[in-house]
Amino acid sequence: MEIKALAYLGIGSTAPRDWLQFGTEILGMMPARAIPGVGWGFPGAERPLSEQTGIAADGSVYLKIDERQWRIGVHPHAQDGTLLYLGLELDGPHEFAAAIQELKDAKIDVTVGSEADAQARAVTAIARLRDPAGIPIELFYGQTWDYKFHSPYFDHHFLAGSLGLGHVNLFVSKQTECFDFYTQVLGFKLTDYIRFGPQFLRCNPRHHSVALMDAGGVTGLQHFLVEVTDIDAVGRTLDRAKKAGINIVTTMGRHRNDGTLSFYMRGPGGFDVEVGCEAKLIDDSWRANEFCEGDVWGHDGIMEAIMDVAKGMGERQ
């Protein structure tokens, strides 16, 4: 099959409204203009943008970064930082049906969701499965567009659209099996890798949408990245985070492999959030390669931050 993008992300939280504050006031996202499953009929949908909350009746929070209705969903959950789902986009109904058949032929458990299930994600059709480490995946087509993204900060924009939300770095307990699953079943391509370290996988011109890393048996989300359009947006986000007392877990730096200029901070869920710009866009002329130097400069503290997230996740699991 051919996945087009990592389109959306679902997170569990004991306090979803903390993510609303973090997402808007620090990251510069926007509360969703409509709630999945309710759409434009939810209270406040016709109100001015400044009065729209992005909060569903069950307390879930939905955040918007571009013309798609939403990109990050945060749902009430007993355990902070739980990765509830990754939304992977397919082209259309024929590709969706073919993907379901491929999964069944490969003896992989997959469940096609109801119309209500699809509406709950603001998509046309949806199917659910898990990777070999148990991470929940949702395949879909037809994500709702509602346009009119408006950051609370002037001239703040995200690089998303057809490239998707950004990327995720996943701790997986079965790295070899997961690599085979994402590449041989879902059709991701290996961009590059560190031996005995992360494997970076792409599904469109973004350098990677998914990275897989073994961290001693834990499974979950180590960090996600959102990409902004220029260095000033990165710097202003860093300033806001410092002013708000957010834990900045790395210095600013530039990655060697994807070229991203970024910093990392600890999000409300106990995992890290990377904000960056200038990441490489690649095409099918690219060949997978091993690299052994993580950064051109900066990103001091990155390994300590990764292991701290893994330790916290191990304690929770």
Per-residue pLDDT reduced to its tens digit, 105-135:
999 999 999 999 999 999 999 999 999 999 9
Distances (CA, A) of 283 to 5, 71, 111, 181: 14, 25, 32, 22
Q: Give the domain range for residue 270.
A: 161-316
On whether both 112 and 171 belong to a single domain, the answer is: no
- Say yes or no to pLDDT of 42 above 70: no
- Average pLDDT along the chain: 92
Give this prediction's pTM: 0.93
Residues 5-20: what's their mean pLDDT?
A: 96
- Say yes or no to pLDDT of 43 above 80: no
CA–CA separation, 53 vs 82, rounded Å? 23
Element (H, E) at 251: none
Q: How many domains is the chain partitioned into structurally?
A: 2
On whether both 234 and 175 belong to a single domain, the answer is: yes
From the list 194, 159, 195, 154, the residue with the least C-alpha distance to 28 is: 154
* % of the chain with per-residue pLDDT over 90: 82
On whether both 176 and 120 belong to a single domain, the answer is: no
Residue 149 within a domain:
no
Residue 148 within a domain:
no
Residue where one domain finishes, among candidates 79, 110, 141: 141
CA–CA separation, 254 vs 34, rounded Å? 36
> Which of 28-42, 160-174, 298-312 comes out lowest in average pLDDT?
28-42
On whether both 112 and 231 belong to a single domain, the answer is: no
Q: Any idea of the CA torsion for 154, 64, 57, 84, to the nearest 10 degrees?
A: -140
